[in-house]
């Protein structure tokens, strides 16, 4: 069915047989976009625009990196958009930041653990479990804060708006996110286990990893906790940027995160993907929206182009599984 | 807990889709609290509102039976609504619009099916991406502003009644019966069950797996087109936001009806009652003064409990 070409093209451009998936083509797309934007508009290369690009893309980067962890084990988390909104709502409660800041991460971990428990122990499909969690968390958020408002602790605001070593702080949020994910994925036994579990799930035998002594349920649960924690981190960042709580700020963010992860070559059947691919996927989406704004293209065309790009990139990735 | 799960009582209880229990409970609550609401006229109006969702569910359950998913329904509904309400086909007849809608749904469904079964792309991504493209396309065409009015004939058809029931509801029931026949009486129905059970086993038994998946997606596209026609008739004006939450809701109603990815104990009527549950759930909660936020929480918990109910059984 799928021509198993072992040519250089097949290996590099289509990412065949690779554990990292197809990431070279998206990288070429991202670089081409950046070069073209730099040539076509004078504002793109300006310092303020680049700082803006990083700050705008940061919530997507943080959520996409989290999403990648669950996608690698063949899962999906649709609840992260709600977790982001929920986090901003908690931070905008009239409470000192010493309580709310650890609180949001604790609650996010609880949400992630519930997702993971339902999926691994109660045998609920990830789409179903996280979809219901999305409704529940969004409902609670709207009780806490029906419309946007409230004030976020000054510390949170400073963490996003300030500068350090002459660079805007969002840059450091990005570096910290990437380093943390790198350590988890490539610098620990846990990351290796994730790829092993995902590979087993993708090949249709979910027991494969367990037969090698890897505790699959526990590791999958941890992946959902990590995903929720990253979503909470994105929520803290956004709260610092909008300086209030907003029940709708995270709306549809989960779909953007999945889009970025998929563009970066991580396959939804699990086991294949990479951190640099996800970062490239985020860069493609961020450049797309930034570039179209600079070129004064209506946001509606942006949406359509994003969809076409996603279709084109995933159509090039080959896998065996039919379905989800 | 595990003793209870493996007990004969639980096995018998869990044979029946959760939607049956929930619907019975909701009707009892309605009967106790507002007996005057339990007549065909009032209920007909409530049920009429969920007909587009109900038709979309017929397609969704088909693709979920073959371990796939279709999230492109929202885009299809938006596109067809735009074609009808924007007046880009001046003077077109009802028949033309119906043909246009069906052709659109068929083409999009076929595309989904080919991408999922032949190109082997993740169904979540393909149908999601297609929905993004369609939504962006419609918003671009309309510059984000609501298009014009829907031709009057749609509204008139929507408001007709036969033997005391609103005709959209009858249409929905007829379609559901057709789908039930398709799944129980035809070879295609057998293929769907076999593919859902195990794709490799179906393949080695000579079941055309790819063709079955393609056909399931094509039919889902067709159902989305029919849902779009009813939805357009029901709101009578054009909109650039209509129907966007329907695909996700249709997944939820299907699960409530006892059909999960690959397994279809709930048949076709389970999800049918799942949709009715959503209709009455909102009525009951509005009656007790539960706000939108509370409705979201209740909706999420009900879907989760229904899925856990099924998951426990599958785990045994």
Q: Residue B8 domain-assigned?
A: no
What domain count does chain B have?
1
Which residues does chain A have within 8 Å of residue B121's beta carbon, measured at their own beta carbons? 314-315, 317
C-alpha distance from A197 to closest chain B C-alpha (Å): 19
Residue of A nearest to B127 (CA): A311
Which residues does chain A have within 8 Å of residue B66's beta carbon, measured at their own beta carbons? 323
Nearest to A131 among B130, B133, B251 (CB): B251
Torsion of CA A103, A104, A106, A109, to 10 degrees: 170
Q: Tokens 């003793």 appear where?
A: B3
DSSP secondary structure string for all residues of B283-310: HHHHHTT--HHHHHHHHHHHHHHHHHHH
DSSP secondary structure string for all residues of B110-132: HHHHHHHHTS---HHHHHHHHHH
Report the half-sphere exposure of B287 (CA within 13 A, side-chain side). Answer: 16
Number of other residues whose CB lies within 10 A of the CB of residue B15:
10
Query: Is pLDDT of A205 > 80?
Result: no
Q: Residue B9 domain-assigned?
A: no
Cβ contacts below 8 Å, chain A against chain B, sum to 179
Query: Is pLDDT of A207 > 90?
Result: no
Q: Residue B221 domain-assigned?
A: yes
| pLDDT given at position A110 | 96
- Mutation site for B-interface testing, chosen from A203, A322, A324 by largest number of B Cβ within 10 Å: A322
Nearest to A76 among B124, B213, B260 (CB): B124
User: Two tokens at B84?
Assistant: 């009808």
Q: Residue B179 domain-assigned?
A: yes
Rounded mean pLDDT for each run of 10 residues along chain B, 316 residues in total:
68 78 88 80 84 94 92 92 84 86 96 92 89 89 78 81 84 94 93 90 92 96 95 80 82 86 81 91 84 86 85 63
- The percent of residues above 90 in pLDDT, for chain A, comes to 36
- What separation, in Å, do the N-terminal and C-terminal C-alpha atoms of chain A show? 19
**CATH assignment of the domain containing B218:** 1.10.3470
C-alpha distance from B88 to closest chain A C-alpha (Å): 19
CB spacing of A135 vs B296 below 8 angstroms: yes
Q: Among the ranges A175-184, A255-264, B26-35, B90-99, which has the highest mean pLDDT value?
A: A175-184
Question: A2: pLDDT confidence band, cut at 50, 70 and 90?
Answer: very low
> What's the mean pLDDT when you consider all of chain A?
86
Residue of A nearest to B203 (CA): A322
**Integer Cα distance of A104 and B261 in angstroms:** 33
Contact B64/B266 with Cβ under 8 angstroms?
A: no
Could you report the per-residue pLDDT of A245-254, keeping only the tens digit for each?
Answer: 888 888 888 8
Nearest to A128 among B133, B144, B255 (CB): B255
- Mean pLDDT is lowest, of A74-83, A206-215, B120-129, for A206-215
**Could you tell me which residue, A90 or B142, shows the higher pLDDT?**
A90
Which residues does chain A have within 8 Å of residue B209's beta carbon, measured at their own beta carbons? 322
| pLDDT given at position A295 | 84
Report the phi/psi class of residue A270: left, alpha or beta, with left for phi > 0 and alpha for psi in -120 to 50. left
Q: B266-269: which pairs have CB atoms within 8 A and are 24 or more residues apart? A: B266/B17, B266/B19, B266/B61, B267/B180, B267/B183, B267/B184, B268/B58, B268/B61, B268/B176, B268/B179, B268/B180, B268/B183, B269/B176, B269/B180
- The percent of residues above 70 in pLDDT, for chain A, comes to 94
A58-63 mean pLDDT: 95
CB spacing of B132 vs A307 below 8 angstroms: yes
Instruction: Tell me which residue range forms the domain holding B231.
Output: 15-315
Query: Domain A20-34+48-316 belongs to what architecture?
Result: Orthogonal Bundle (1.10)
In 3-state terms, what secondary structure has residue B149?
strand
Which residues does chain A have within 8 Å of residue B129's beta carbon, measured at their own beta carbons? 259, 307-308, 310-311, 314
CB spacing of B132 vs A303 below 8 angstroms: yes
C-alpha distance from A301 to closest chain B C-alpha (Å): 6
CB spacing of B133 vs A304 below 8 angstroms: yes
| pLDDT given at position B3 | 66
Q: Which residues pair with A163 in a beta bridge?
A: A168
CB spacing of B117 vs A322 below 8 angstroms: yes
Q: Residue B123 domain-assigned?
A: yes
Q: Residue B7 domain-assigned?
A: no
Could you report the per-residue pLDDT of B155-212, keeping only the tens digit for each?
Answer: 888 888 887 788 899 999 999 999 999 999 999 999 999 998 888 899 999 999 999 9
Residue ranges of domains in chain A: 20-34+48-316
H/E run at residue B161: strand B161-162
**Integer Cα distance of B16 and B176 in angstroms:** 18
| pLDDT given at position A17 | 64
Residue of A nearest to B295 (CA): A139
């Amino acid at each position: 069915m799928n021509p198993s070409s072992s040519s250089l093209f097949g290996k590099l451009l289509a990412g065949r047989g690779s554990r990292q998936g197809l990431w070279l083509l998206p990288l070429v797309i991202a670089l081409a976009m950046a070069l073209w934007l730099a040539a076509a508009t004078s504002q793109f290369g300006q310092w303020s625009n680049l700082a803006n690009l990083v700050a705008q893309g940061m919530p997507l980067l943080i959520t996409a990196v989290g999403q990648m962890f669950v996608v690698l084990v063949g899962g999906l988390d649709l609840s992260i958009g709600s977790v982001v909104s929920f986090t901003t709502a908690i931070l905008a409660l009239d409470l000192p930041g010493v309580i709310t800041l650890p609180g949001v991460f604790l609650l996010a971990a609880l949400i992630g653990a519930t997702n993971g428990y339902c999926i691994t122990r109660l045998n609920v499909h990830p789409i179903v479990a996280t979809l219901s969690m999305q409704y529940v968390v969004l409902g609670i958020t709207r009780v806490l804060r029906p419309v946007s408002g409230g004030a976020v602790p000054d510390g949170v605001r400073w963490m996003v708006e300030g500068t350090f070593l002459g660079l805007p702080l969002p840059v450091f949020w990005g570096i910290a996110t990437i380093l943390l994910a790198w350590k988890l994925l490539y610098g620990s036994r846990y990351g290796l286990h994730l790829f092993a579990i995902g590979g087993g799930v993708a090949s249709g035998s979910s027991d494969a990893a367990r037969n090698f002594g890897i505790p699959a349920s526990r590791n999958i649960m941890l992946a959902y906790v990590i995903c929720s924690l990253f979503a909470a981190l994105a929520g803290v960042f956004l709260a610092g940027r909008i300086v209030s709580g907003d029940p709708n700020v995270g709306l549809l963010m989960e779909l953007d995160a999945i889009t970025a992860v998929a563009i970066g070559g991580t396959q939804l059947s699990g086991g294949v993907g990479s951190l640099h691919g996800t970062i490239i996927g985020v860069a493609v989406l961020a450049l797309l929206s930034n570039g179209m704004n600079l070129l004064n293209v209506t946001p509606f065309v942006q949406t359509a182009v994003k969809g076409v790009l996603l279709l084109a990139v995933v159509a090039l990735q080959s896998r065996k599984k039919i379905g989800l | 807990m595990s003793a209870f799960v493996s007990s004969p009582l639980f096995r018998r209880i869990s044979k029946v889709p959760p939607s049956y229990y929930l619907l019975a409970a909701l009707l009892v609550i309605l009967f106790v609290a507002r007996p005057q609401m339990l007549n065909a006229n009032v209920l007909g109006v409530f049920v009429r509102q969920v007909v587009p969702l109900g038709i979309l569910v017929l397609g969704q359950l088909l693709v979920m039976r073959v371990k796939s998913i279709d999230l492109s329904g929202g885009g299809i509904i938006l596109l067809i609504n735009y074609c009808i309400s924007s007046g880009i086909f001046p003077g077109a007849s009802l028949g033309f619009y119906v043909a246009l809608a069906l052709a659109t749904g068929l083409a999009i469904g076929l595309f989904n099916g080919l991408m999922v079964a032949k190109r082997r792309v993740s169904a979540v991504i393909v149908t999601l991406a297609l929905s993004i493209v369609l939504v962006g396309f419609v918003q671009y065409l309309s510059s984000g502003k609501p298009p014009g009015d829907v031709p009057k004939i749609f509204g008139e058809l929507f408001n007709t009644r036969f033997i005391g029931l609103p005709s959209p509801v009858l249409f929905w029931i007829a379609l559901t019966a057709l789908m039930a026949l398709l799944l129980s009486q035809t070879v295609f129905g057998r293929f769907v069950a076999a593919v859902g059970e195990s794709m490799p086993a179906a393949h080695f038994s000579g079941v055309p797996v790819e063709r079955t998946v393609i056909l399931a997606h094509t039919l889902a596209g067709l159902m989305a087109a029919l849902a779009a026609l009813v939805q357009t008739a029901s709101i009578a004006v054009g909109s650039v936001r209509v129907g966007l939450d329907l695909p996700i809701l249709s997944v939820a109603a299907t699960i409530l009806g006892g059909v999960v990815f690959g397994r279809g104990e709930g048949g076709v009527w389970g999800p049918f009652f799942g949709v009715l549950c959503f209709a009455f759930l909102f009525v009951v909660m509005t009656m007790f003064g539960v706000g939108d936020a509370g409705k979201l929480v209740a909706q999420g918990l009900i879907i989760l409990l229904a899925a856990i109910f099924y998951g426990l059984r599958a785990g045994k």
